[in-house]
């Protein structure tokens, strides 16, 4: 299914969750391109991009590549190999490009190196699937949801990562936008796949 050993790609996406992203993206790719928010080093990109490549579609991959809150210097998930000492900032874009090259996805994935809200400002392309896995603050999660969920076409998927119904297991913002999507009446939730929430646009 995948062109490279997925365990060789830095990231936090579980294999079962990744397989579900691949299967659902492949199922709806005929409805339009897919889009992800929060690419990091490209683990989810390989799953989604491989499905889009098989379907002769496109994946837009949005990430400012400066890391989320937890990736910053001194934080729990900081990776020194991704730190740009010259600018004093985290930078995952070089590693991301290496992943695309290794996975032979450079002609399928369109990297958009920008904050989510900036990329969304003039967005007008209908999307078959949107995968939200960007910043996990409430502000970032709400911004991603409000900016991108409306672009999912009927029959398409909104996918949200790190949904923890039990507050003891993880942060609340992804769970809150997962609930918000259901309350909107526009999306029907499927059973969670570990921490992956899948919602079909009705």
CATH number of 6-165+184-201: 3.40.50.150
List 139's β-bridge partners, or say none: none
Please tell me the predicted confidence (pLDDT) of residue 131: 99
pLDDT for the residue numbered 75: 73
Which of 63-67, 71-75, 117-121, 194-198 is predicted least confidently? 71-75
Using H for helix, E for strand and C for coil, what is the string for the chain?
Answer: CCCCCHHHCCCCCCHHHHHHHHHHHHHHHHHCCEEEECCCCCHHHHHHHHHHHHCCCCEEEECCCCCCHHHCCCCCCCCHHHEECCCCEECCHHHHHHHHHHCCCCCCEEEECCCHHHHHCCCCCCEEEEEECCCCCHHHHHHHHHHHHHHEEEEEEEEECCCCCCCCCCCCHHHHHHHHHHHCCCEEECCCECCEEEEEEC
Q: Looking at residues 49-67, what average pLDDT do you find? A: 96
Mean pLDDT of the region 76-92: 80
How many residues belong to the chain? 202
Average pLDDT in the 112-118 region? Answer: 97
Q: From CA 66, how far away is CA 87, in angstroms rounded? A: 11
Mean pLDDT of the chain: 94
Q: pLDDT at position 99, please?
A: 98
pLDDT of residue 97: 98
pLDDT at 68 over 90: no
Residue 74: which pLDDT band, with cuts at 50, 70 and 90?
low
> Could you list the active site residues?
136
Structure confidence at residue 198 as a pLDDT band (50, 70, 90): very high
Mean pLDDT for 110-124 is 98
| Mean pLDDT of all residues in 72-96 | 81
pLDDT of residue 56: 98
Q: Are 148 and 35 in contact (CB under 8 A)?
A: yes
Q: Is the pLDDT of residue 6 over 80?
A: yes
């Amino acid at each position: 299914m995948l062109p490279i050993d997925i365990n060789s790609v830095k990231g936090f996406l579980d294999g079962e969750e990744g397989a579900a992203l691949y299967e659902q993206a492949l199922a709806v790719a005929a409805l339009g391109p897919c889009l992800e928010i929060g690419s990091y080093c490209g683990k989810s990109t390989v799953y989604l991009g491989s499905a889009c490549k098989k379907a002769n579609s496109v994946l837009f991959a949005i990430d400012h590549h400066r890391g989320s809150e937890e990736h910053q210097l001194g934080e729990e998930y900081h990776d020194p190999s991704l730190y740009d000492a010259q600018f004093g900032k985290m930078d995952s874009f070089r590693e991301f490009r290496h992943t695309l090259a290794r996975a032979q996805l450079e002609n399928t994935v369109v990297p958009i190196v920008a904050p989510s809200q900036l990329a969304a400002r003039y967005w007008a392309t209908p999307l078959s699937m949107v995968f939200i896995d960007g910043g996990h603050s409430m502000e970032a999660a709400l911004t991603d949801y409000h900016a991108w969920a409306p672009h999912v076409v009927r029959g398409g998927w909104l996918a949200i990562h790190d949904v923890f119904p039990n507050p003891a297991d993880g942060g609340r913002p992804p769970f809150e936008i997962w609930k918000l999507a259901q309350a909107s009446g526009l999306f029907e939730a499927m059973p969670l796949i570990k921490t992956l929430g899948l919602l079909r646009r009705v």
